[in-house]
Every structure is written in C-alpha cells, then in structure tokens.
Amino acid sequence: MTTVSRYLLILMAALALICGVTLHPQMSGTAEAQTAGVVLAGPTIATGGSYTCAIITDGTVQCWGYNRFGQLGNGTTVDSATPMTVTRLSGPATALSTSGGHTCVLIEDGSVECWGINSHGELGARPGNHSSTPVTITGLSGPATAVSAGGGHTCVLINDGSVQCWGRNDEGQLGDGTTRDSTKPVTVRGLGGTAVAVTAGGKHTCALIDGGDIRCWGSNYNGQLGNGRADDSTQPVKVRGIPGTAVTVSAGFGHTCALINDGSVRCWGHNYYAELGDGTKNDSNTPVAVRNLRRPATSVVAGPTETCAIIGDGSVQCWGLHLYSLGNGTDHFSPSPVTATLVNGTATVVTTSGETEGGSCVLMDSGEVQCWGANHNGAQSTVPVTITGLAGPVLQPGTAPSPSESSPPLADLSSMLDTSPSRGGTGLIAILTILGASAALVGYLNSTGLFRIPAIQLPPLPR
C-alpha cells in the first residue's frame, strides 16, 4: 500500500466516524492474508506449453517461448527466446498460472486477467477469440485471492472461501453440477467447507479445504479425484486415505499430488509414466506415498507426465517422465525422485511444463530463474541454465510488488489521479475536498472546546 493510500484510508475512517458509518474491511478466504482486495500469495513463475511467464518485483509480467496464439501477452504472435513484457495489465500482478496455452494473473486489487488460447472460453470470452493481450474476467462474485489455469478451464479462489470456474466443462471440471461449458464464472457447488487453495488440472480440479481435507471434481478416468472410484463427478468429492493434514495440493494432467504436514508427499491418478513416484507404473484411485523422497518436502507441483518437489534444504527432486531430463542431466525417466542439478542458490518455487516437450523451471532465492528442457527455439538443456534478459529479479511468493518508480509527494496528488470527468475525476476531487474539510472541522471543534471528538484508534495498516 502506498503512502498516499494510507493517508486516504485514515481520512476515510475519520469521515466515517463523524458520519456514524462503520467501515468493515474485507476478509480473505486464505489462511495467509486478510485484505481489501490485495492478496499476497500464489506462484510467481509458471511454465506452459513451451513457454514460461514470471512476475518481476515491480509487478510487471514477462513471458518467453512459443507465441502462436498470443501466449506471451505482448500483443504479437511472434515466438521469443528472450523475455517479453506483457502489455496492458491493469495493475501490478501478485500471482500467475499457466496451462498448455493460456495464462492468468491475479492483480493486486483482486481482479483476474488472462490471455492466450481461448478454445473453450477459458479467457472468459466467446470460444475462438484468442487474445495476445490480457482480458479482464468479469462476473466474479468477489475479489479473487488465487488463480489456476487448467487444460481449457480456469478457476479462482474468492476471498470468502468459495471457488469459481469457467471454460471447458465436458467432464464436470467446473464443479457446478453440469457438463455445460461457460464463458462466465460459475460457483462450485458442495465444497463442504471453506477453500484455502484451488488447482486446475487437465480435466479435473481440486481445492484444499480449511482443516486439511481435499475435494476434487471433474474427470476421474485414471483415479485423479482420489475417492477410490473411477467415475467422473460434476461436484466435489472427498479424497480418501490422506494421512495427517494436507497443506498444499497440485493437479497435473491426469494425476494429483498433495504435500502432507509431516513433509511427505502423496499422489494419485495416472501413473503410466511413474508420475506418482511409488516405484510402479500402476494407476491409483487413492493416495500413495512417494518413495525415497528426501524430507521434509516444502512444496510439490504435478506436471503433465512428471512431478517435482522442493526439499527443505532448497534442493529440487523430480520423478516420472520428461522428454529431455528430470533436471539431473541424465535421467529423463525415473519411478522415484532424482535431484536436479541447480546452478547455485536454493529454490523457492518449482514449475513443470504444460507439455512433455516443454521445460521445467525453478525460482531461486536470489530472484533468478533456472530452466531445463526445450524453449521452442531449438535450444535444449538437460540441466538447469540461468535465464537472461529478465527486467529484474522475479517476485518471491508472499511478497508485495514494489513499483520501480518512486511515489510522488503526498501533496502532489494530481500526478497520481486521473481527474477527467470521464474517469470519475470530478467526484474524486469532491470526495478529497470533503475529507479535507472534515479534518479541518475536527481540528477546529477540538481547539475551541465546543465539542470534543475522541482520538481515533485505528488498527495497524496492512503492509
């Protein structure tokens, strides 16, 4: 929150007390933060179908790789081996998610914007209208606190703990009890509690419920819903057999994985490529333990045919199938975890490609990005290499964007505000005038002793 925003909030609170109005801040549905539309959570780097996107510390987004349908978000359809800045974002981004062909970002004010492929309405627009620049999602029931892009559909967590989805719904992946596609957000029915996280997979979706349970819905052809059955579900079903409490969940193309509070990882669903990590290639419709994983794991991400986890010491381990390598320079297939050969530093985020022929990337604690696999321009690497050309360090999850330009002096509000009548400037000036007059009135009445107004005690402002 800027200095100007802080002063405006204080003045608004003072005016509300004078007028007998109580201001109630919005409460986030996540366990990590409470906001008035600003949530600091979620991944800040993600790999899609042969392309990658990352949020820079100033809140801008850069993408590189394949761009036939505008996946890079820079207004073109030209591939780029170097990072390109996404244009026309309405504000600083705080989290992002990619799929095989579209990307969505969470904006600081709780809105969501998406770009790229729109075959099924995953951008919130009529199918077929692909977009090379961000499109704002309309119809959300409240500020979003997390976003996840799936294989033809997109889902968000709303700040009241509900989940909304839109796009493809042929196997019930939107969770509204139907199999009808929707270009507008629909609310997931029957979550069974307050959601604190959401993850969209190939044709299924899962939510982490407050208390540690997991609910999944959509396709269950390979047991990826984890309820011990093989039939699809258009509404959430409970994952069975998770020991302890789940703290994160990640949906891949046909499998799902969860991090447990003891630092272990459990996976279920498709396992032809050994992506469950239990040493077999047998599908499982209930969670199985990843074998020989160094512990404790601190995060897990399920990809199309492989799975990766960050270990407590900042190293990365992967298992399953990757066309080029699992990050150690030799193995492209392993039924149990192998350790990626990072260049230096410790990893804070790991992400796997939306396509087997793509790549995998990690965000380091230094803010640099290391990737391996293919980058769609013919270059390949079986071990992590550092990405060059980024506009700055990548934003770490849970931190606020810091705009590169310094804020103008408090007295010079005109440089920050559009005061034209078409943008509501006249009304804004009137509000500021009233606020100033109210503050002056408070000071005058106190000084004369005619009417004593008690000191206003405000809670600490969010940082």
Does some domain include residue 207? yes
Query: Do 140 and 286 have their domain in common?
Result: yes
- Same domain? For 362 and 305 the reply is yes
- Answer yes or no: is 411 within a domain: no
Residue 209 covered by a domain: yes
Last residue of a domain, one of 339, 362, 386: 386
Do 225 and 328 lie in a common domain? yes
Split into its structural domains, the chain has a count of 2
Final residue in a domain of this structure, among 339, 371, 386: 386
One domain for residues 22 and 71: no
Q: Does residue 369 have a pLDDT over 70? A: yes
The pLDDT mean for the chain works out to 81
Question: Is 358 in the same domain as 430?
Answer: no
Q: What is the CA radius of gyration of the chain?
A: 23
pLDDT grade for 357, boundaries at 50, 70 and 90:
low
Tell me, yes or no, whether 362 lies in a domain: yes
Mean pLDDT highest for which of 194-203, 429-438, 447-456?
Answer: 194-203
- Provide the domain limits for residue 455: 1-27+418-463
Question: Percentage of the chain surpassing pLDDT 90?
Answer: 70
Are 269 and 319 in contact, with CB atoms under 8 Å apart? no
Which one is predicted more confidently, 111 or 461? 111
Measured CA to CA, the distance from residue 214 to residue 251 in angstroms comes to 11
User: Distance of CA 105 to CAs 10, 239, 253, Å?
Assistant: 30, 28, 20
Domain match, 2 and 63 both: no
Distance CA 316, CA 300 (A): 10
pTM: 0.79
Q: Which pLDDT tens digit goes with each residue over 66-125? A: 999 999 999 999 999 999 999 999 999 999 999 989 999 999 999 999 999 999 999 999
Task: Choose the weakest-confidence range: 2-11, 245-254, 279-288.
Answer: 2-11
In a domain, 278, yes or no: yes
Q: What is the CATH number of the domain that holds 333?
A: 2.130.10.30
Quick check: 14 pLDDT over 50? no
Q: Is the pLDDT of residue 20 over 50?
A: no
Rounded Cα distance, 194 and 183, in Å: 24
Residues 21, 63, single domain; the answer is no
Claim to verify: residue 447 and residue 321 sit in the same structural domain? no
Phi-psi region of 345 (alpha: psi -120 to 50; beta: other; left: phi over 0): left
Q: Are 106 and 159 contained in the same domain? A: yes
**Residue 427 forms part of a structural domain:** yes
Q: Establish if 406 belongs to a structural domain.
A: no
Residues 6+ apart with CB under 8 A from 162: 29, 141, 142, 187, 188, 191, 195
User: Does 382 lie in the same domain as 427?
Assistant: no
Which amino acid type is present at position 318? C
pLDDT at 406: 39
pLDDT at 33 over 70: no
352 vs 368, more confident: 368
Q: Does residue 402 lie in a domain region? A: no
Does one domain contain both 245 and 331? yes
Full 3-state SS string of the chain: CCHHHHHHHHHHHHHHHHHCCCCCCCCCCCCCCCCCCCCCCCCCEEECCCEEEEEECCCCEEEEECCCCCCCCCCCCCCEEEEEECCCCCCCEEEEEECCCEEEEEECCCCEEEEECCCCCCCCCCCCCCEEEEEECCCCCCCEEEEEECCCEEEEEECCCCEEEEECCCCCCCCCCCCCCEEEEEECCCCCCCEEEEEECCCEEEEEECCCCEEEEECCCCCCCCCCCCCCEEEEEECCCCCCCEEEEEECCCEEEEEECCCCEEEEECCCCCCCCCCCCCCEEEEEECCCCCCCEEEEEECCCEEEEEECCCCEEEEEECCCCCCCCCCCEEEEEEECCCCCCCEEEEEECCCCCCEEEEEECCCCEEEEEECCCCCEEEEEEECCCCCCCECCCCCCCCCCCCCCCCCCHHHCCCCCHHHCHHHHHHHHHHHHHHHHHHHHHHHHCCCCCCCCCCCCCCC
Clarify whether residues 458 and 325 are in a common domain: no
